Amino acid sequence: MSVTQDDIILIQNLKAGDSSAFKFMVNQHEEKVFSLCLSYIKNEEEAEDLAQEVFIEVYQSIESFKMESSISSWVYRIAVNKSLERIRYYKRSKRFGWLTSLFGKEEIYSAYSNDWVHPGVKLENKERSKILYYAIDKLPEKQHAAFIMHKVEGLAYKEIAEIMQLSLSAVESLIHRATTNLRTQLGIYYKLDNED
């Protein structure tokens, strides 16, 4: 996903404040950004909210974009970073939920739960996908990010490398380790399940 001539023209128009260029860019990327956010955030309303934040950040920081990657990679990078930030926030809120509840505050986002099923999953795979998502949540952040982009979003290693600003071999390593970790976790789950 290197910078193309069309990208250059689009970026120049965006930097000039052209609203139709911004609308075009949003239309080009909205589905993908939403899908990416949904895969991380596990809630459709929150994913749309986050997708809006991604485009607002793109709008506000277009001046600082140096065209070192394609505009798509840059937009997806913002989406991934914002999604991971939001997950960290929800996990922190959950950890201290008992404290905030003493002051009468509602738990900030109870929908970030372990019972979520991706709406795009086939019916016969729903239960297994729930188990898999539970395991994915326990992965270290970079492995989590890479695995979701590859397995759920179907991005190629090269695209993931550009988004995460890593080498191709680093991405391969991340996905390999993520898969190994998931196999280990699932192995424990199914062993315990068989013992029941």
Partner 1 sequence: MDKNDNIKKTLDSLNDMQIVPLKPFFYTRLESRMEKVSTRNRWQKSISWAVVIVLVVLNLGAYFSFNQSTNESSNSVQLSDVKTQYYPETDNYYALIEEYETK
Residues that bind partner 1 (CB under 8 A): 23, 26-27, 30-31, 34-35, 38, 44, 48, 51-52, 55-56, 59, 118-122, 125, 128-129, 131-132, 151-152, 179, 182-183, 186-187, 190-191, 194
- Closest to partner 1 by CB, 13 or 179: 179
The 10 Å Cβ neighbour count of residue 3 is 15
**Nearest distance, CB of residue 148 and partner 1, angstroms:** 9
Q: 105: which DSSP letter?
A: P
Q: How far is the CB of 3 from partner 1 (least distance, A)?
A: 25
Task: State in angstroms the smallest separation of the CB of 90 from partner 1.
Answer: 20
Nearer to partner 1, 26 or 170 (CB): 26
* Helical axes 71-95 vs 5-15, angle rounded to 10°: 60
The residue ranges of DSSP E strands in the chain, in sequence order, are none
Residue closer to partner 1 (CB basis): 47 or 69? 47
List C-alpha distances in Å: 188 to 5, 61, 113, 182, 191. 51, 45, 21, 10, 5
Angle (nearest 5°) at CA 181 between 192 and 171 = 160
